[in-house]
Structure 1
């Protein structure tokens, strides 16, 4: 009896997610994005594919950190095959650096468009192309109407859209999630001189049908790992406690 009730609740939850636009792309049910504890915040415990995700940053430094986190997501999305389209006003990326995350630079097509209007139009059209693994676009201003058009496009094509917004003004959008990625001081092994692995403070500010949260992560050659509390800077511990 309990098993039947659990199955009914599970089916009801899946139906609700589908009606709200969180549809799983065919063949991606078991895809592991290797995000560890972050997965617990997602609906159905899985990073929403066929959706538009918004990444907000204020400074150029935060934008650089955000780009690294997105590259990690792309490395999983592109395992299914296909290429990524990266749209921006002016390319500031160093393509060979993507190999750090297991991405071949020639699998990413960069297109530079100076006008915001053109960026939004190009992203919408690109998201309709089923052969793409993902579309990344650097757009400062994204209103609700434009974001809704992007979300409708991915629900048809099953492509995942990632929007990077360097702005201090956050308005309401139709994006499934909103993230904020900032830098944390690295730590070398056993106090050795030099630079350690990149460390990020990852904040999930909004997630449809999920639970927002924050995590402190380190990226190394084996993927993400959560940073132990005793290794966090004092100001981060204070922020976590507040």
Structure 2
């Protein structure tokens, strides 16, 4: 009897997600490579055609967020995709984004002085079906603004990214997910000296129809990789040892 109830509840959850337009995972569907973090999303599928919101509260976190988004764009733009990157400030060095598998020539950088113009440009760009992703860098996003952006992507199925730099207050939004990315000490291959691949502490603060989650993730030429518990312990020990005294 208990198993029947659980099966019924599971079926109802899947039906509700289907009615809300959440994609079902297919056997041939490629993942973003985020490991357990990806399972936090409905049906374990990274949502495309929605707005993702990133928040940062200092320059280091802003740079970390840009790097992590670069990795996501590398996955999304594999089939000759185009991205529009809009902002009144530019925190990314275009040539560096090549490290994440993205050709800088496939990104159109747009600079605007006022944030309301940035949001207007993003809304218009999100309506273009031929674009893979649109990213805007701003300082504050409210529910009404986010709802306008979400309505735009529901028709075009373009994926949008909002990066809030040092917002005064985190307001409620209609974004599908709210992310917070902070940098971690990198680890070089085989313990060799020098700078290794970028590492991040990635936290999903809010997930529509999903569950909040947190993982430590690194980037390599093969894509994203999550740390095992043993790797986390070794990395934390090395970091603490290097900072003694």
TM-score bin, normalised by smaller chain: 0.7 to 0.9
> Which string of whole-angstrom CA distances, capped at 9 and with x for unpartnered residues, describes residues 170-229 of structure 1?
110110100000011123345432212211100010001111111111211222222223
The SS at the match of 1:90 is coil
How far 1:7 moved relative to its partner?
9.1
Alignment-derived partner of residue 108 in structure 1: 107
How far 1:81 moved relative to its partner?
3.5
Farther-moved stretch of structure 1 (147-156 vs 187-196): 187-196
Large movers: runs of 4+ above 4 Å: 4-12, 22-25
Is residue 71–residue 224 contact of structure 2 (8 Å, CA) maintained in 1? Answer: no
Q: Could you tell me which of 224, 233, 238 is aligned with 2:236?
A: 233
Q: Give the distance between the partners of 1:19 and 1:149, measured in 2 at CA.
A: 21
Q: Give the distance between the partners of 2:101 and 2:232, measured in 1 at CA.
A: 29
Is residue 135–residue 163 contact of structure 2 (8 Å, CA) maintained in 1? Answer: yes
Q: Give the distance between the partners of 2:174 and 2:18, measured in 1 at CA.
A: 15
Farther-moved stretch of structure 1 (89-98 vs 209-218): 89-98
Q: Give the distance between the partners of 1:82 and 1:201, measured in 2 at CA.
A: 27
Pairs aligned (count): 234
Farther-moved stretch of structure 1 (89-98 vs 200-209): 89-98
RMSD: 2.8
Consecutive unaligned residues in structure 2, runs of 5 or more: 241-245
The SS at the match of 2:187 is coil
> Which string of whole-angstrom CA distances, capped at 9 and with x for unpartnered residues, describes residues 92-120 of structure 1?
42212121111111100000011011011
Q: Give the distance between the partners of 1:11 and 1:154, measured in 2 at CA.
A: 28
Alignment-derived partner of residue 176 in structure 1: 176
Alignment-derived partner of residue 209 in structure 1: 209
Consecutive unaligned residues in structure 1, runs of 5 or more: 238-242
The SS at the match of 1:198 is strand
Q: Do the aligned partners of residues 89 and 122 (structure 1) sit closer, same or farther apart at CA in structure 2, a change above 3 Å counting?
A: same
Q: Give the distance between the partners of 1:126 and 1:58, measured in 2 at CA.
A: 27
Q: TM-score, normalised by structure 1?
A: 0.86
Is residue 84–residue 107 contact of structure 1 (8 Å, CA) maintained in 2? Answer: yes
> Which string of whole-angstrom CA distances, capped at 9 and with x for unpartnered residues, describes residues 123-180 of structure 1?
1111111110000000111110010111111111000000000124211011010000
> Which string of whole-angstrom CA distances, capped at 9 and with x for unpartnered residues, describes residues 50-73 of structure 1?
110000000111100100000111
Is residue 52–residue 162 contact of structure 1 (8 Å, CA) maintained in 2? Answer: yes
- Give 1:91-170 correspondences, 5 Å limit: 91-168=90-167, 169-170=169-170
Farther-moved stretch of structure 1 (216-225 vs 168-177): 216-225
Alignment-derived partner of residue 195 in structure 2: 195
Q: Do the aligned partners of residues 103 and 16 (structure 1) sit closer, same or farther apart at CA in structure 2, a change above 3 Å counting?
A: same
